[in-house]
Amino acid sequence: MKSQLLASPGQRVGTSPGQPPVPARRNPTRGRFAAQHRRRMFRTDMLTVALWASLAAALALWLADGGMSSVGNLTQAVTAVGILAGLAGMDLVFLMLLLAARLPFVDGAVGHDRALEFHRKLGKPALYLLLAHGLLLATGYGMAEGLNPVSEAVALWTLVPDMWLAFVSMALFIAVVVTSLVAVRHRFPYEFWYFVHLLTYLAVAVALPHQFSVGGLFAEGTWQRWYWLLLYIGTGSALAWFRIARPVIATYRHQLTVRRVVPLVPGVFSIEMSGLRLNELSGNGGRFFVWRFLAPGMWWQAHPFSLSAEPQVGKSSRQPTLRITVRNLGAGSARLASLKPGTKVAIEGPYGVFSTAARSREHVVMIGAGIGITPLRALLESTPFAPGQATVLLRCSSTEELFLGDEILELCRKRGATLFHLTGPRSANTQSAWLPASAGTSRLRDFVPDITDADVYICGPSAWARLVLAEAKASGVREEQLHYERFDW
């Protein structure tokens, strides 16, 4: 392990593993980031309230239509539960679509990855409710007509207008959820899963006709019909604007083209791009963009990469540029090494809260491993801190994997941050397995004694990041101080 302790005015120069911890301040959120932290927590609370309110409103549609007064026997009770299951299930589908719509309000509150994580968690409950909707209605209607559920389902398909579309919608929902299961989706390329996932929009669209033509809840002239229609229109508009229009506008506005590809070590390279109005993208160090390189065979592949350098737009820059750094982790990313200068680039983003927008404290700790070191380089470049208020820990197996290490060292010298190089094979100590063996019995607090009074940014392989997160929490760091981005799908 190699530790580099950099002189920084006003800092505890010479700190080394083993120094006694520094107690946390009683009011850690007091400072220049306190207000933005409170706003972010408020937005998170409002999202939670909105989610439950949306679900309650969906169920209230039936109650306001005199739903309970229609329940007088078992047959009517089964039918009523089926209707409620359908309303709740479709409401969850709307919420899932909005969570995936990359709404700035949602992204800025909880981050893109956590929004998608919750999106995935809603998938199974939504499907179960929609399946229950179909089964209970077939049972309830069948009980009323003296038919079994299968015969009633066949009758609904053949005799009731628009019902066949409801069956098609259900089949599409099942296909989407099944291909989203972890054990299934990892058997297919991302692009296959993605295009199957697009069937969700078709499933929602073909489910609409039977909702308005069957039953009286959404009958023409009712306010319930307008409420439900507005949910459709609002969700569709959000998706059209944030998933399609804004990326097209950003691509046209910034006119990004590949300037050059710079090899770092075998399998790792930086892509420099030039474009217009790049000053508008400054200050997004740590956040990620979705890149599509418009070259033959590549244009349909989306690559989520974070910036490894802030846009260079100063007077000294003849041509404004920005940079990402890529590791060859598959056929798609490997082909990027062959990009030619002048290749056009489509852009979406920036997304996520792995940035200054998530800061709540004056002190900041950045911990990176592997290719995860490179986003920290851009974050270190842009996030505010006074000399002595930042610590950087870079974990790698060898110095060759210390990607952009010279640039990070120079930034640390310039800005007064403490830098640790944690190199070598991993420790056998299960309590600190994210550290190299040469660290011995050292723990995270030995490197950063006042870590409970800092925002902690972690970027690296998922298994390694989980170990760091676990130790940070065990050290007393609160969940709201931990910032990490997950790119798994």
Peptide bond into 28 cis (omega under 30): no
Query: Average pLDDT over the chain, rounded to whole?
Result: 87
Coil, strand, or helix at residue 477?
coil
Are the beta carbons of 382 and 410 closer than 8 angstroms? no
**Between 293 and 401, residue with greater pLDDT:** 293
Coil, strand, or helix at residue 220?
coil
Q: Is the pLDDT of residue 350 over 70?
A: yes
> What average pLDDT does the segment 108-130 reach?
90
Could you tell me which residues are beta bridge partners of residue 393? 367, 420
Could you tell me which residues are beta bridge partners of residue 390? 364
Amino acid at 295: A
Q: What was the pLDDT predicted at 317?
A: 55
- For residue range 278-297, list pLDDT tens digits in order: 989 888 888 999 999 999 88
**180-189, 217-226, 389-398: which is most confident:** 389-398
| SS3 track for 407-465 | HHHHHHHHHCCEEEEEECCECCCHHHCCCEHHHCCCCHHHHCCCHHHEEEEEECCHHHH
Q: What was the pLDDT predicted at 308?
A: 93
> What average pLDDT does the segment 210-230 reach?
88
Residue 257's contacts (CB-CB under 8 Å, 6 or more residues apart) are 273, 274, 275, 341, 342, 343, 344, 345
Q: Which residues of 410-445 are buried (b: 16+ CB within 10 A; e: fewer)?
A: ebbeebbbbbbbbbbebbeeeebbbbbeebeebbbb
Class of residue 243 by CB neighbours under 10 A (exposed 0-12, middle 13-18, buried 19+):
middle
> What average pLDDT does the segment 365-387 reach?
94
Give the residue from 173, 193, 195, 191 showing the smallest Cα distance to 182.
193
Please, which pLDDT band fits residue 487 given cuts at 50, 70 and 90? low
Coil, strand, or helix at residue 160?
coil
> What average pLDDT does the segment 355-365 reach?
93
CA pair distance 424, 436, nearest whole angstrom: 5
- For residue range 402-456, list pLDDT tens digits in order: 999 999 999 999 999 999 999 998 877 776 789 998 888 888 999 999 999 999 9
- For residue range 140-197, list pLDDT tens digits in order: 999 998 889 999 999 989 888 888 999 999 999 888 888 777 666 777 777 777 778 8
- Element of type H or E holding 470: helix 462-474
Please, which pLDDT band fits residue 213 given cuts at 50, 70 and 90? confident
Q: What was the pLDDT predicted at 328?
A: 84
**Half-sphere exposure of 146 toward its Cβ, with a 13 Å CA cutoff?**
0
Phi, psi for residue 488 in degrees, rounded to 5: -70, 160
CA distances to 107, 244, 246, 292, 313 from 251, in Å: 20, 11, 8, 10, 18
Please, which pLDDT band fits residue 259 given cuts at 50, 70 and 90? very high
Please, which pLDDT band fits residue 392 given cuts at 50, 70 and 90? very high
Q: Among residues of the chain, what percentage have pLDDT more than 70?
A: 91
- For residue range 334-349, list pLDDT tens digits in order: 889 999 999 999 999 8
Q: What was the pLDDT predicted at 199?
A: 85
- For residue range 32-84, list pLDDT tens digits in order: 888 889 999 999 999 999 999 999 999 999 998 887 888 889 999 999 999 99
Q: What was the pLDDT predicted at 189?
A: 73
Q: What was the pLDDT predicted at 299?
A: 85
Q: Using CA atoms in the order 82, 87, 90, 95, what is the torsion angle rounded to 10 degrees?
A: -140
Q: What was the pLDDT predicted at 78?
A: 94
> What average pLDDT does the segment 329-336 reach?
82
Q: What was the pLDDT predicted at 181?
A: 74
Are the beta carbons of 289 and 355 closer than 8 angstroms? no
CA pair distance 91, 125, nearest whole angstrom: 11
CA distances to 102, 176, 185, 187, 202 from 179, in Å: 22, 5, 5, 9, 16
Please, which pLDDT band fits residue 489 given cuts at 50, 70 and 90? low
Q: Are strands 390-396 and 363-369 parallel, antiparallel or unpaired?
A: parallel
> What average pLDDT does the segment 217-224 reach?
88
Q: Is the pLDDT of residue 19 over 50?
A: no
Q: Using CA atoms in the order 395, 401, 404, 408, what is the torsion angle rounded to 10 degrees?
A: 30
CA distances to 102, 107, 275, 441 from 53, in Å: 21, 20, 44, 50
Q: What was the pLDDT predicted at 12?
A: 38
**Between 133 and 21, residue with greater pLDDT:** 133
Q: Is the pLDDT of residue 114 over 50?
A: yes
> What average pLDDT does the segment 372-393 reach?
94
Please, which pLDDT band fits residue 88 given cuts at 50, 70 and 90? very high
Q: What was the pLDDT predicted at 405?
A: 92
CA pair distance 484, 355, nearest whole angstrom: 10
